[in-house]
Amino acid sequence: MLLADGSEPGRVFFDLGSGSTFHESTSWWHYDGEFRRPTAVSMRGRCACGWRGTKRYPIDWEKVREVDDPDTYDTTGPYEDWEAHLDEVAGRAVMLPEDLAGLLRQVRDQLDRLWLEEDAARAYATMLKACSELEAIVAETGPEAVQVLAREQDESMPAIAEALGMTEKAARARLLHYERLTWH
C-alpha cells in the first residue's frame, strides 16, 4: 500500500478494548481511512527480501465498498509483479542438478500422497519420520557447506546471495541458520 505522498504506512493496530495486546495487520483493505487509519491511494508488489515494484495500481475505494469483500477486488497487478520478481530471482539462483531436483520432487510427491492414506495416524507418523530424516541430512550437510562458504563470505557475499536467489541480508541469515545447526 502507498499513501498519497508515496510512502508505505506502518502496521495498522486494532484496540479491541480489553487486554494488553493489540491485533495488527498489513492487509491492504485495512488502509481505508476509517477509524483514523491511513488511507492508501495505490498498491504495488513487494517482497520480504526488500524488493518493491515500480508500477503503482490505484485503489478505488468506492468499488471496494460496493463489493464489500476485499477478496473479490482485483489485486492481480501487484501479485503478478511479485511473481515476476520471484521468477527473476529464481532465474539467477543456482540450479539444482536435475537428478537431485528429481529426487526432491519424488520425496515431495510421496509426502503429498500420504495425506490420502486411510490410516491417518500411520501416515502422519511416516511424514514426521521422513521430516526427521531430512532434518538429519540438512544438519549434516548445511553446516559443512557454510564452513566452506564462510572462508570467502565477506568478499563474495553478493555472489553467494545471488546464487541462493536472495538478498545479502537473507543469505547471511540462512548461513547463520545452518551454522547454528552444528551447535545442537
**How do residues 169-178 score in pLDDT, each as one tens digit?**
888 888 888 8
Given pLDDT bands bounded at 50, 70 and 90, which one contains residue 12? confident
Residue 26: DSSP 8-state: -
Which cell is 148 given? 566452506
User: What percent of the chain has pLDDT above 70?
Assistant: 93
29-57 as b/e, with b when 16 or more CB fall inside 10 Å? bbbbeeeeebebbbbbbbeebeeebeeeb
What is residue 5's predicted lDDT score, i.e. its pLDDT?
95
- Rounded Cα–Cα distance for residues 93 and 24 (Å): 34
Tell me the torsion sign for CA atoms 119, 121, 124, 126: negative
Task: Tell me how far apart the alpha carbons of residues 89 and 162 are, in angstroms, rounded to a whole number.
Answer: 8
Asked whether the beta carbons of 45 and 2 are under 8 A apart, the reply is no
Residue 45 has pLDDT above 90, yes or no: yes
Owner of C-alpha cell 476485499: 70
For cell 478494548, the residue is: 17
Q: pLDDT value at position 59?
A: 93
**Inter-axis angle of helices 153-164 and 168-180, nearest 10:** 100
